[in-house]
Amino acid sequence: MASDDREAPGSYFLSQTAAQKLDEELMGEAYGFTLEQLMELAGLAVAQATYAHYVAPGQNSVPGEKVNVVVCCGPGNNGGDGLVAARHLHHFGVPVSVVYPKPGKHVHYARLVKQLNALDVPVLSKLDAPSNSHDALARSTVLVDAVFGFSFTPSGPENVREPFKTLIERMNDYDKILCVDIPSGWHVEQGLQPGTLAIQKPDALVSLTAPKLGVRNFSGHHYVGGRFVPPRLAQHTGLRVCHYAVADQVTRFHEKVDD
Ligand SMILES: NC(=O)C1=CN([C@@H]2O[C@H](COP(=O)(O)OP(=O)(O)OC[C@H]3O[C@@H](n4cnc5c(N)ncnc54)[C@H](OP(=O)(O)O)[C@@H]3O)[C@@H](O)[C@H]2O)[C@@H](O)CC1
Ligand SMILES: [K+]
């Protein structure tokens, strides 16, 4: 936890190291999760939030136009979450494609791509510019930002190395972006650094496991996908958790403590 949270009864937000430590504990001796399980739970939460926010009847989608989703994936586990979310969105009946410019090395990513290939979900290497902003396709396209998560490290004057510099510049031309865990290019603890290349105006965010300090002032639609965190681990970490309804894997972020 961030140092100033020590005396508080707990915080809703995790520092970068606390987030990494919490995931390691979840995968450690005491809690027994595998990385693949956490990624599957994370990806399902992202797919549910994307569906609830953009596709469910009466939601933000443009009435009468079919929402299509483009999942932009980075080389790490944040990208892995995106590959999983794309599969679930396909099964939910949502037209979806993936942009994956630099496939990650871990063998699990190749398995996730194979699962998408088997469903004929397109996996492309670059993101097209939005068609002109007035036409139906542009208005009904939703981007899922699964490029970087809590291991993003600002690098050099550009903040982001290629091929993701071009990708993030292009993503900013779209107006509906749902970010996975952290808006890509934001500092995990200090948030969006003015003047840096990053997702500038995220419409929605799905914090995984628990929100990070860098999004404590996020004013968009904020969901949390952390139902799998055992209460004993949350208490031991000093993490205050949100309440989830019925069988949902996501909840809206709210300050209410889980009673
Ligand atoms: N771990 C877990 O238990 C779980 C984690 N989960 C998810 O994983 C996320 C953390 O995943 P992670 O640690 O793989 O790092 P992540 O943020 O995806 O990518 C970092 C990679 O990007 C690159 N890169 C970094 N900075 C860069 C720059 N400036 N410019 C260009 N490239 C840059 C760099 O790759 P490299 O260049 O070294 O190949 C680095 O390796 C977390 O947020 C959550 O969403 C869930 O699945 C639940 C289980
Ligand atoms: K992201």
Confidence of residue 9 (pLDDT cuts 50, 70, 90): low
Largest pairwise CA distance in the chain: 53
Is residue 146 within 8 Å of residue 73, measured between CB atoms?
A: yes
All residues with CB under 5 Å from ion ligand 2: 145, 179-180, 184
Is residue 213 within 8 Å of residue 14, measured between CB atoms?
A: yes
Least confident of 21-30, 41-50, 54-63: 54-63
Tokens of 46: 């992202």
Q: Tell whether the model's pLDDT for residue 176 goes beyond 60.
A: yes
For 164: left if phi > 0, alpha if psi spans -120 to 50, otherwise beta; the answer is alpha
Indicate if ligand 1 lies below 6 Å from the C-beta of 42: yes
Is residue 200 within 8 Å of residue 134, measured between CB atoms?
A: no
- Closest-CA residue, ligand 1 atom 46, reads 39
When pLDDT is averaged across residues 155-175 and rounded to a whole number, the result is 93
- Closest-CA residue, ligand 1 atom 36, reads 75
Indicate if ligand 1 lies below 6 Å from the C-beta of 22: no
- CA atoms of 5 and 60, how far apart (whole Å): 36
When pLDDT is averaged across residues 63-79 and rounded to a whole number, the result is 92
Tell how far the Cα of 80 is from the centroid of ligand 1, in angstroms: 9
pLDDT for the residue 133: 62
- CA atoms of 17 and 2, how far apart (whole Å): 9
Which of 83, 79, 88, 77 shows the shortest CA–CA distance to 114? Answer: 83
Tokens 């939910």 belong to 92
Indicate if ligand 1 lies below 6 Å from the C-beta of 181: yes
Q: Residue 82: what residue type? A: G
User: Does ipTM top 0.90?
Assistant: yes
Pairing of strands 251-252, 204-208: unpaired
For 209: left if phi > 0, alpha if psi spans -120 to 50, otherwise beta; the answer is left
Q: Is the dihedral of CA 112, 117, 121, 124 positive or negative?
A: positive
Is residue 215 within 8 Å of residue 205, measured between CB atoms?
A: yes
Indicate if ligand 1 lies below 6 Å from the C-beta of 184: no
| Average pLDDT over all residues of the chain | 91
pLDDT for the residue 259: 44
- CA atoms of 132 and 166, how far apart (whole Å): 19
Confidence of residue 4 (pLDDT cuts 50, 70, 90): very low
pLDDT for the residue 156: 83
Mutation choice for ligand 1 from 83, 152, 155, 188, CB with most ligand atoms inside 8 A: 152
pLDDT for the residue 6: 45
pLDDT for the residue 255: 59
Q: Tell whether the model's pLDDT for residue 32 goes beyond 90.
A: yes
Cα angle 15-16-22, degrees, rounded to a multiple of 5: 85
- Give the distance from CA 92 to its chain's centroid: 18
Tell how far the Cα of 78 is from the centroid of ligand 1, in angstroms: 6
Domains and CATH numbers, the chain: 2-58+67-243 (3.40.50.10260)
Instruction: Find out whether 145 is annotated in a ligand binding site.
Output: yes
- Spatial neighbors of 121 by CB under 8 A, at least 6 apart, are 86, 87, 90, 96, 97, 98
Is residue 205 within 8 Å of residue 179, measured between CB atoms?
A: yes
pLDDT for the residue 1: 44
Instruction: Find out whether 140 is annotated in a ligand binding site.
Output: no
Residue 38: other Cβ atoms inside 10 A: 19
**ω into 163 cis (within 30 of 0):** yes
